[in-house]
Amino acid sequence: MTAQGSSPTASAQRPSPKASWLEARRLARIFCLDDFEPAARRHLPRPIFGYVAGAAETNASYRDNRAVFDEYGFRQRVLRDVSGRESSLDLLGGRYSAPFGIAPMGISSLTGYRGDLAQARAAERAGIPMILSGSSLIRLEEVVEAAPSTWFQAYLPADSSQIAALVDRVAQAGVETLVVTVDSAVVPNRENNLRNGFRTPLRPDLRLLWDGVTHPAWSLGTFLRTMLHHGMPHFENNTAERGAAILSRHATRDFSGREHLDWEEWRCIRRQWQGNLVIKGLLHPEDVATARQHGADGVILSNHGGRQLDGAVSPMRALPEALDVAGEMAVMIDSGFRRGTDVIKALALGARCAFIGRPFNYAAAIGGEAGVDHAIELLMSEIRADMGMLGINRLAELDPAMLVDLALSCRQVPKRAFAYHGKSGPRC
């Protein structure tokens, strides 16, 4: 199913690509999103796997992102005819087939061959949103041509004068939804990257060479294949101009200099950008209220998968207060979502859609486009099964009263009237 609001594309109509023998063998052992991680760990060179898997400092936020889901239990319903289940939703003017999407992840085409395209095409075909990262290695125009409903995520360039040019380029490419990530005012401390030997641009040295030699499937199937067919990957979308090469002894990629940015930059973007404008990386209700006041169409509550401020709360903890002030904005969420039940818990609390990062990155790395298809299908089936076990046919029927806050000794999460959605009248 294609997201409504975008014209159907060759890629959307294209059947799922056939996995290679090796990819199919790997995917046959993947039964849930968490299974992708150990497979990717085996496949990827250590610095590159570490870059994707890692978080900031002590991993406190990373752990909380998972732990929070165990604090909610379900109150299932039974005998409610759930034969007509369907998981579609309307979001920002588009219609999607499931309430989850692919979060933006920089340099995805280093982990999987043409990784951003694999994610975007699979998402387009499945009818779920996919957000292309501003730190991606394939030109956004190429990705949007292949998958027109792709959203684009921008980091604000440090030099404010470059912001307008970038926004203009994104509009010219035909993007309908622009996501601006704002939780990156300063560079976080990701010492894990240093331990694993990761930096951007990658510096060729003996250790990197050894990592390549000991991971031949990645070296041949992703890195050398990319070099052969597309040349040295560059940061293509951080600004309106092409950025640094991914592998370089001398080039530096400048993440600094964003400290001075404030809501004035956001206001300028809002004036310029005609499409949907989403702000990503909020946790504080006052920021959510400010985003609303300054014309955001949606927010993505996020702690960046635990990769920015270590100790930042799980967005699930920020969700109720954010909803109190969000008004008509679509409140979306990411960080730590791995299961259909995680997505359902967020939706029951009031989120519209959950985005998922790392597992889709691993999926493209070990299985290409077929891997991303597989990941999407796994999560969709979980969600549809969970809906059945909760006794609902539509996502709109999800309600906080279906949840129990386990920390509060089994107290129902705010009480609301419970509607019965069964068929009326006796059948026998």
Ligand X SMILES: Cc1cc2nc3c(=O)[nH]c(=O)nc-3n(C[C@H](O)[C@H](O)[C@H](O)COP(=O)(O)O)c2cc1C
Under the rule (CB under 6 A), what is the footprint of ligand X? 52, 65, 103-106, 133-135, 153, 181, 280, 302, 304-305, 307, 334-337, 356-358, 361
What six digits make up the tokens of 409?
């000794």
Residue with tokens 């940061």, as numbered in its chain: 235
Spatial contact of 275 and 297, defined as CB atoms under 8 Å apart = no
Distance CA 246, CA 107 (A): 9
Report the residue number, 52 or 247, with the smaller CB distance to ligand X. 52
Report the residue number, 12 or 49, with the smaller CB distance to ligand X. 49
Report the residue number, 245 or 402, with the smaller CB distance to ligand X. 245
Phi, psi of 90 (to 5 degrees): -100, 130
**3-class DSSP string for 82-103:** CCCCCCCEEECCEEECCCEEEC
Shortest spacing between CB 112 and ligand X, in angstroms: 11
Report the residue number, 40 or 402, with the smaller CB distance to ligand X. 40
Catalytic residue among 215, 304, 374, 421: 304
Distance CA 219, CA 319 (A): 41
Report the residue number, 135 or 341, with the smaller CB distance to ligand X. 135
- From 264, 315, 324, select the one nearest 294 (Cα to Cα): 264
Distance CA 221, CA 223 (A): 6
Long-range contacts of 209-213 (CB under 8 A, 24+ apart): 211/45, 211/46, 211/47, 211/48, 212/45
State the alpha helices, DSSP H only, in 35-153.
Answer: 36-43, 46-53, 60-67, 108-111, 115-126, 140-146
Shortest spacing between CB 193 and ligand X, in angstroms: 10
Kindly compute the dihedral angle of the four CA atoms of residues 270, 273, 274, 279, in this order, to the nearest 10 degrees: -60
Residues constituting the chain? 428
Whether 284 sits among the annotated catalytic residues: the reply is no
Shortest spacing between CB 53 and ligand X, in angstroms: 8
Secondary structure of residue 404 in the 3-state scheme: strand
| Cβ partners under 8 Å of residue 335, min gap 6 | 61, 65, 302, 303, 304, 305, 306, 314, 315, 357
| Cβ partners under 8 Å of residue 176, min gap 6 | 5, 6, 93, 94, 149, 151, 275, 276
Report the residue number, 65 or 276, with the smaller CB distance to ligand X. 65
Shortest spacing between CB 181 and ligand X, in angstroms: 3
What are the beta bridge partners of residue 151? 131
Report the residue number, 139 or 394, with the smaller CB distance to ligand X. 139
Distance CA 75, CA 401 (A): 8
Report the residue number, 105 or 403, with the smaller CB distance to ligand X. 105
Distance CA 380, CA 375 (A): 9
Give the nearest residue (CB) to ligand X: 357
State the alpha helices, DSSP H only, in 127-190.
Answer: 140-146, 161-172
> Hey, which residues are catalytic here?
304
